[in-house]
Structure 1
Amino acid sequence: MNFQLTVLAIALALSGCTGHAARERLGIEDATVLKTGIGASQDEAAGAANAQWIGAYVPIGNSRTALASLQQRLDQLPGDKTGYFHAKAQCWIDAAQQARQANDHWGFVEEAIGQAAVITMSLENGTPLSAANPVLRTVSTVRPDLWQIVNTIKADSATAQCPEAQQPLACAEVELIQAGHDAWARNFASAEKRLPEIQGKLRKSAETALQCVQAKQVSVAPMRAQQNITLRADSLFRFNGANEAAILPAGKKHLDDVVTGLSKVSAIRELKITGYADRLGSDVYNQNLSLQRAQTVMRYLRGHGVTLPIVALGQGSANQVVTCKQTKHDELVKCLAPNRRVEIQFLVAGS
């Protein structure tokens, strides 16, 4: 899917068909809504409350209390609050508040509370959620062309990988459903007034997803060109030091740069951290020293928010990168410095 086409489609959708009634511009296909006046249906097909609806929503009772409780629960949820489902729950709460303030007694307030409650409860319990939109008693479909754009954006993998694009998409869906409620209640003008904001949110979602794709293409390129970085142990740790207390200020700066870089690249699937020592000292000592340094780097990254899978290894004095023949100890230690190192390998998705 080319998101530039999506943006173009949304831009085209902004131009309404002038010279027609609001009801016609909304593209309503529901015959029960199209028919008004004497003889208009008032049965269940037209949205009359049935036993199932009453059983589901009457227990809500005081809508003000229910909304306040839901808002508190949603605010207390840990983690990212900009994702699709958190945003959708918030927009359902907002829609219910707006309908309640407008003294809407058709049942949409209760339905919106119900949708917010289902999402909030699932987020609290960690249970799977469906991104499909519900069929509600008090809602008719309006602007099928906009729903087609919604589904196109939602189905694109770029949106799934771009949280910033999900919030406006989720709220556009809820607002389009709310416009459908206005139409169901024969308030066609109010339904149409919602459309510019809905279209703006859809355009923002599509454009943001496209920007995410472009940013990843730029940021992943250098990582693919250089999938390993080498950090000199002498710049990370005090000589012969290996624990976090032995990390030098310059070493922390190097590791902080790694953390920052990882936060900007989503294509990395795993890190492999390998410590190396020089040839001085026993094999056992060098093996333990190299492993401890790799593990310390791993713990530092973990402590600063890196959640990727990490493998930490120690290779002792293997894979020496320089050979030194100095006889004076100080000169030999200095010459062997490149062999004392920590290598971080970035395993890129698809590599």
Structure 2
Amino acid sequence: MVQGISGRHEFSALELASLASFSPSYDYGSENDSDSCCESQPCPQDFSLNFDRAFMPALYSLLFVLGLLGNGAVAAVLLSQRAALSSTDTFLLNLAVADMLLVLTLPLWAVDAALQWVFGSELCKVAGALFNVNFYAGALLLACISFDRYLSIVHAMQLYRRGPPTRVTFTCVAVWGLCLLLALPDFIFLSAHRDERLNATHCQYVFPQAGHRALRLLQLLAGFLLPLLVMAYCYARILSVLLVSRGQRRLRAMRLVVVVVVAFALCWTPYHLVVLVDTLMDLGAWSRNCSRESRVDVAKSVTSGLGYMHCCLNPLLYAFVGVKFRERMWTLLLRLGHPGRAGPSRQPSSRRDSSWSETTEASNSGL
């Protein structure tokens, strides 16, 4: 788990990867205490520690396998027709890569959760930054898809189709660059830190308490609230336009994109609400005691596990909701299984033919 030099629990974006509450409880002092047990010594964390050690490694291992296979399949399908990728497909390809890179860090955090961090400070920095880069990238790429659809349907503006072919590439590069900037604190402040009270070493932030609060705020704004607001506004406007125009075909075409956004909100909202509660308790705005603190620690582990599941959920949504994605996947499997018998897959006639749904095609046809 990531913690500051004070020894108090501090959860930031990296904690989604290193969620186990391995440090002792907050050592609050008299300033924010509401329970006499916490005034003289840290609260006992036996229950949350045992829960995390049993729950998190198993969850990380499962999500590592599912996320790698699922997002690998998505990337393979999109790359199999890379000459005709739409702008939406390009964003989704980058999203699949972000999810794959994120789940690649899970085996490291599984070891950290079950035992301790044994990989040294350099890999601690790299793994933490890699996690955060892809955490932010996933949210921002979904916002890019939403904005692209919004311009196309609401304003009939083909930002990427009618512009230079490299425009969508530049957008993706800008997103990745911004995510690298947001992950700079991990490169600077993360290190393998020895906790003498636990007799264990963990990958932790080492800076003052205010730094953890700043990271929490950054994660909440850049990794959740702003992308979610962009997605909600764009799709609310899109659906209102399609309902007025009675474009039933286009409404069906939008269903996968809407489902993906709803999945993002459902997976990550519980975690951010729990972190908000923990932050209010930390600031003294909400009284805390040992029992409440233990429940919040367990809730953070469970809800962040739900957030992790989002990395594996998108490929399932594409497979069950995206008609064209299923067709492309089946064609690719036939080509791989019978290379001598299966002919070349049918290539899209234009960049409008999206491989995962009819969204691009419908939105380009005019209202």
Which of the two has greater helix per residue? Answer: 2
Instruction: Give the TM-score of the pair, scaled to structure 1.
Output: 0.26
Q: Which has the higher strand share?
A: 1
Greater C-alpha Rg? 1
TM-score by length of 2: 0.25
